[in-house]
């Protein structure tokens, strides 16, 4: 069992004969060299792990492939692993999870290239256009920058010294010219994860995501298998002007799945939905008639928005500003970032709107505020709105 194959052609012929014999006896579907399959661990010995691979014979795997640097096993009997079929010799099915360690040389690397089996690689240094990767048997190879990961590396030198699996994409000149790719394996892994997520992921579920990039309109996040958008409007209950002030690339977030469009490969998430809604206790915290100090967050033609607390903004209508004199724009009397004492005039919990007046101004039980102000973008000013209110009042009296 410890004997290593010495002649690939003989192994192939024996494998073909054994496969045909097995098929003639009504055995399981034939395994092709390099084929990935699921295997259940039956027994763990000193040198070999014995596998149930759905064939008449047992599969065997070098136990070192399932040990960490300290020699500790990462699996136990009954676990299921993925392995690649290598050869059939003497009724024994040889498997591997990778090509690596020991006496791996050009012949095994060529076999790994032909069968698509991953190999161990270690980044030695940067060279023109990419990295020099050391493969098993001290065989040198080249990996382009574009094939080292799923995304561009901002600091390529940080990967030097790291080890991971790669797939040989080019093998020529008897092994003197070898090109490898890590990206291919990562894409295969993501595809498998995406297929699994499609079966289990539902809207409303909470997931852990990593921020991959930030744009003006939102942040792209990766949940391990699929990438989607966290819109800027879904980051917080309060208005966010610059995402870079609250998020950074590489940051881990807990998000809620907002929408899933598998057909068009579009997915969106929400950070806001994981936070407590500040409007739940707004009536208790900001009763009508109470005074508070807020910060002017935005000035519009129709009025000034004032932040009372995180996620709670109110509006002072332009007609309430100017201390009795007519103004054309709130910036004539206020500026953004200014602290301002205000009084709660009205609360609409259903629409999540609060009407404010400057502290000291009498509170009136009128409809003036959000509903009228947002439709008054014509710049009529307080005179036009007062005229409209007067006309409406006359109509109500006639009725």
Which residues is 316 bridged to in the sheet?
304, 356
Looking at the domain assignment, is residue 379 inside a domain?
Answer: no
* Total domains in the fold of the chain: 4
Q: Are residues 92 and 158 in the same domain?
A: no
Long-range contacts from 377-385, C-beta under 8 angstroms, 24+ separation: 377/301, 377/302, 379/301, 379/328, 381/318, 381/326, 381/327, 381/328, 382/318, 382/319, 382/322, 382/326, 382/327, 383/326, 385/319
- Three-class secondary structure of residue 145 per DSSP: helix
Q: What's the predicted TM-score (pTM) here?
A: 0.57
pLDDT of residue 29: 64
Choose one of 96, 125, 141: the last residue of a domain.
96
* Tokens encoding 260: 């899933």
Residue 346 lies in a domain: yes
Q: Which of these, 23, 186, 31, lies nearest to 95 by C-alpha position?
A: 31
In a domain, 396, yes or no: no
Same domain, 220 and 251: yes
With the C-alpha atoms ordered 213, 218, 221, 227, is the resulting torsion angle positive or negative? negative
Radius of gyration of the chain (CA): 34
CA contacts within 13 A on the Cβ side of 331: 5
Provide the 8-state DSSP code for 374: T
Residue 353 phi/psi, 5-degree rounding, is: -135, 140
Using an 8 Å Cβ cutoff, are 39 and 82 in contact?
Answer: yes
Instruction: Read off the DSSP letter of residue 288.
Output: T
Indicate if 124 and 60 belong to the same structural domain. no
| Lookup result for tokens 């006896």 | 25
Choosing from 62, 96, 130, the residue where a domain stops is 96
Could you give the CA distance from residue 79 to residue 98 in angstroms, rounded to a whole number?
18
CA atoms of 94 and 39, how far apart (whole Å): 12
Same domain, 85 and 127: no
- Do 287 and 347 lie in a common domain? yes
* Final residue in a domain of this structure, among 256, 274, 292: 274
Q: Indicate which CATH number applies to the domain containing 67.
A: 2.40.50.140
| 395 part of a folded domain | no
Question: Is 101 inside a domain boundary?
Answer: no
pLDDT tens, per residue, the chain with 399 residues: 344 444 444 544 444 544 444 444 444 567 777 778 888 999 998 889 999 888 777 888 888 888 887 888 888 899 998 888 877 776 678 888 877 654 556 777 888 888 888 888 999 999 999 999 999 888 899 999 999 998 888 788 889 999 998 999 999 888 889 999 999 999 988 988 898 899 899 999 999 999 999 999 999 999 988 999 999 999 988 888 889 989 999 999 999 999 999 999 999 999 999 988 888 888 888 899 899 999 998 899 999 999 998 888 899 999 889 887 888 999 999 999 899 999 999 998 888 889 999 987 776 654 444 544 444 443 334 444 544 555 565 555 554
Query: pLDDT at position 393, please?
Result: 53
Instruction: In whole angstroms, give the CA distance from residue 112 to residue 168.
Output: 7
Q: Token pair for residue 230?
A: 């966290």
**DSSP secondary structure, 70-103, as one string:** TS-BS--TT-EEEEEEEEEETTEEEEES-B-STT
Do 234 and 316 fall within a single domain?
no
Query: Shortest CA distance to 99 belongs to which of 111, 87, 89?
Result: 111
User: Is 270 part of a structural domain of the chain?
Assistant: yes
The two three-digit tokens of residue 341, written as one number: 């004492």
Residue 28: predicted pLDDT: 54
Structure tokens at 15: 């494998």
Q: What is the distance between the alpha carbons of residues 88 and 32, in angstroms, rounded to a whole number?
A: 10
Cα–Cα distance, 368 to 355 (Å, whole number)? 8
Q: Are residue 270 and residue 285 in the same domain, yes or no?
A: no
Say if 50 falls within a structural domain. Answer: yes
Which region, left, alpha or beta, applies to residue 34 given φ > 0 means left and ψ of -120 to 50 means alpha?
left
How many beta carbons lie within 10 A of that of residue 217, not counting itself? 10
Q: Using alpha carbons only, what angle is made at residue 189 by residues 187 and 221, rounded to the nearest 5 degrees? A: 70
In this structure, is residue 107 part of a structural domain?
no
Whether residue 358 sits in one domain with residue 303: yes
The CA distance from 199 to 142, in Å, is 38
Two tokens, residue 61: 């795997």
For strand 353-358 and strand 339-348, is the pairing parallel, antiparallel, or unpaired?
Answer: antiparallel
Identify the domain containing residue 213 by its residue range: 201-274
Q: Which of 355, 250, 339 is nearest to 297 (CA)?
A: 339
In the beta sheet, which residues pair with residue 317?
Answer: 303
H helices of 90-169, in order, are: 106-115
First to last CA, the chain: 101
- 50 and 88 both lie in a single domain: yes
């Amino acid at each position: 069992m410890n004997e290593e194959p010495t002649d690939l052609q003989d192994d192939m012929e024996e494998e073909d004969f054994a496969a045909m014999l097995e098929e003639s006896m009504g055995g399981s579907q034939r395994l092709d060299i390099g084929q990935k399959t699921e295997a259940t661990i039956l027994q763990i010995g000193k040198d070999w792990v014995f596998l149930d691979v759905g064939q008449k014979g047992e599969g065997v795997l070098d136990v070192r492939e399932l040990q960490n640097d300290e020699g500790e096993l990462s699996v136990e009997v009954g676990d299921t692993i993925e392995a690649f079929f290598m050869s059939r010799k003497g009724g024994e099915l040889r498997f591997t999870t990778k090509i690596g360690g020991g006496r791996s040389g050009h012949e095994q690397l060529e076999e790994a290239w032909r069968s698509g089996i991953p190999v161990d690689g270690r980044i030695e240094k940067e060279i023109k256009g990419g990295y020099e990767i050391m493969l098993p048997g001290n065989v040198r190879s080249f990996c382009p920058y574009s094939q080292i990961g799923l995304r561009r590396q901002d600091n390529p030198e940080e990967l030097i010294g790291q080890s991971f699996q790669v797939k040989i994409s080019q093998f020529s000149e008897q092994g003197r010219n070898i090109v490898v790719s890590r990206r291919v394996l990562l894409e295969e892994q993501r595809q498998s994860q995406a297929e699994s997520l499609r079966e289990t992921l539902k809207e409303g579920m909470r997931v852990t995501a990593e921020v991959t990039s930030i744009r003006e309109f939102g942040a792209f996040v990766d949940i391990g298998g699929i990438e989607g958008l966290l819109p800027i409007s879904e980051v917080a209950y309060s208005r966010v002007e610059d995402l870079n002030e609250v998020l950074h690339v590489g940051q881990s977030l807990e998000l809620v799945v907002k929408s899933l469009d598998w057909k068009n490969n579009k997915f969106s998430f929400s950070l806001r939905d994981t936070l407590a809604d500040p409007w739940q206790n707004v009536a208790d915290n900001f009763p009508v008639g109470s005074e508070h100090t807020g910060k002017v967050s935005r000035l519009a033609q129709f009025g000034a928005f004032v932040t009372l607390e995180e996620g709670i903004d109110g509006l002072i209508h332009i007609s309430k500003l100017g201390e009795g004199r007519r103004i054309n724009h709130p910036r004539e009397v206020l500026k953004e970032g200014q602290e301002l004492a205000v009084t709660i005039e009205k609360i609409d919990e259903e629409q999540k709107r609060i009407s404010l007046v400057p502290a000291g101004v009498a509170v009136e039980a009128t409809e003036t505020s959000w509903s009228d102000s947002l439709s008054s973008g014509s710049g009529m000013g307080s005179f036009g709105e007062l005229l409209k209110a007067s006309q409406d009042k006359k109509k109500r009296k006639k009725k």
